[in-house]
Structure 1
Amino acid sequence: MVAVRWCLRFNLSYRDVEELLVERGIEVDHVTIFRWVQRFTPLLADAARFTRHAPGDRWSVDETYVKVNGIWRYVYRAVDQHGQVIDVLVSARRDAAAARRFFRRALRTLKVEPCEVVTDAAPVYQAVRDDLVPSAWHHVERYANNPVEADHSQLKHRLRPMRGLRTDRTAQVIIAGHAFIQNLRRGHYELGHGAPPKIRVAEAFTELARAI
């Protein structure tokens, strides 16, 4: 759990975590650490879902891009007005089908609908909103989407030391894990709330380790 938390929380490569563990008398290969992250990150997020706060009703939706095995992939992300990351989705394409898949995934997982959706001016979003959340106001005013665009930079900053992602599946796990950690740090789960902010994530992982 410590190794997984370090990988998701700090700007460390798997080899960095390997070295830190050796200093503590634990010898483990960096490939094993990668496998731990892939195995346990979804379990941790799933165990925490019942303690997650309901998201806000104003969603800022946008896509950024990352390289996966040398090929550009799009990452759909949404953030509410309180800074909670709603969901993430890695996609090979940037089109209406991908946007629809992202919205369906978020709506199915959270079982809530926004009353306002903020996006850029890409026409695919209008069609998807009309179909899936027709009651929501679609806001496309200039600069309105700045919150989610600014939030992309934190993801890029975390991925930089990892020296690339190999498959879409592993990319999805890592990027979703980053969103999970962000939400923990921002207090969007009823986990680690009795602890000081600087050790909130560590306490949350201790609680989740018992659950899984």
Structure 2
Amino acid sequence: MTTRPDAMYAGYRFPAEVISYAVYLHFRFPLSLWMVEEMVGLRGLTISHETVRQWGLKFGREIATRIRQRRLARGDTWHLDEVVISVAGKKHDLWRALDQDGFVLDVLVQSRRDTKAAKRLLGKLLKRQGRAPRVLITDKLKCYAASKKALKLRSEHRQHKGLNSRAETSHQPTRRRERQMKRFKSPRQVQRFLSIHDPINNLVHLRRYRRPAAEYRTARAQAFAASAEVACVPLAA
């Protein structure tokens, strides 16, 4: 019995398995568009790097949206942090929020690092998560406390640089992609890319070092099955 192709792949000459595989490679690993083109080419398929880019824009956004719609349970402890990135020669701040298990809750690119920016991030988180955190962990930047007060949150607020290493470490994949992509070209490009990159990576965030090998492989197989389900393609045998 053959699986009926998903409507979002209609009109494309390549099968859904090829498209979803290229999109997965692009957003899951720090690969350039040319590297993805070559890896797909090794399987006997000829596509261009521009095709990979266009697939990423269309299908990556749809897959990320479907992942968010699954409304997976996230932790009640939020780690917030910001890092400076260079976009077209100008400095911007990339704000990121994670839960205590390391799952990325949201990202936001902004041109300022003040109370208004922190309040915007928190407001977006509250709207998307549908609840306030039990504990809020940040560094000692004063705008976090000011935005928490402005939004009348009753969450416990812990401000200590050592407690927020999880959020600081979460910026490393972005730094690698920034180098691979020869720096980001615009704030919109950063926001668009990371809004797809982080949900896809959340599916396979398995924390291998805390699991026995057999348990890790089982969890990885479940993650691959969830990825195939979201992309509406059969799981590879």
Task: Tell me what 2:192 maps to.
Answer: 173
The correspondence for 1:32, drawn from 46, 51, 65, is 51
The correspondence for 2:228, drawn from 195, 200, 206, is 206
- Cα 1:155–1:185 change in 2 (3 A) is same
Task: Tell me what 1:192 maps to.
Answer: none
Quick check: 2:137–2:163 contact (8 Å CA) kept in 1? yes
Task: Tell me what 1:183 maps to.
Answer: 202
Deviation at 1:78, TM superposition (A): 1.0
- Cα 1:44–1:85 change in 2 (3 A) is same
Q: Which amino acid aligns with 2:88?
A: N
Quick check: 1:121–1:140 contact (8 Å CA) kept in 2? yes
- Deviation by residue 1:153-202 (Cα, 9 ceiling, x = unmatched): 23322332122222222211211222213311126xxxxxxx84445554
CA distance in 1, matches of 2:89, 2:218: 40
Structure with max Cα Rg: 2
Quick check: 2:118–2:147 contact (8 Å CA) kept in 1? yes
- Deviation by residue 1:39-89 (Cα, 9 ceiling, x = unmatched): 222211211223232221111100012222232221100111111111111
Deviation at 1:38, TM superposition (A): 1.8
Quick check: 1:58–1:81 contact (8 Å CA) kept in 2? yes
TM-score by length of 1: 0.87
Q: Percent identical across equivalent pairs?
A: 32
Task: Tell me what 2:137 maps to.
Answer: 118
Quick check: 1:41–1:173 contact (8 Å CA) kept in 2? no
Quick check: 1:38–1:170 contact (8 Å CA) kept in 2? no
Question: What SS does the corresponding residue of 1:74 show, helix, strand or coil?
Answer: strand
TM-score by length of 2: 0.78
Deviation at 1:113, TM superposition (A): 0.8
Aligned CA RMSD, in angstroms, stands at: 2.3
The correspondence for 2:36, drawn from 17, 30, 41, is 17
Task: Tell me what 2:181 maps to.
Answer: 162
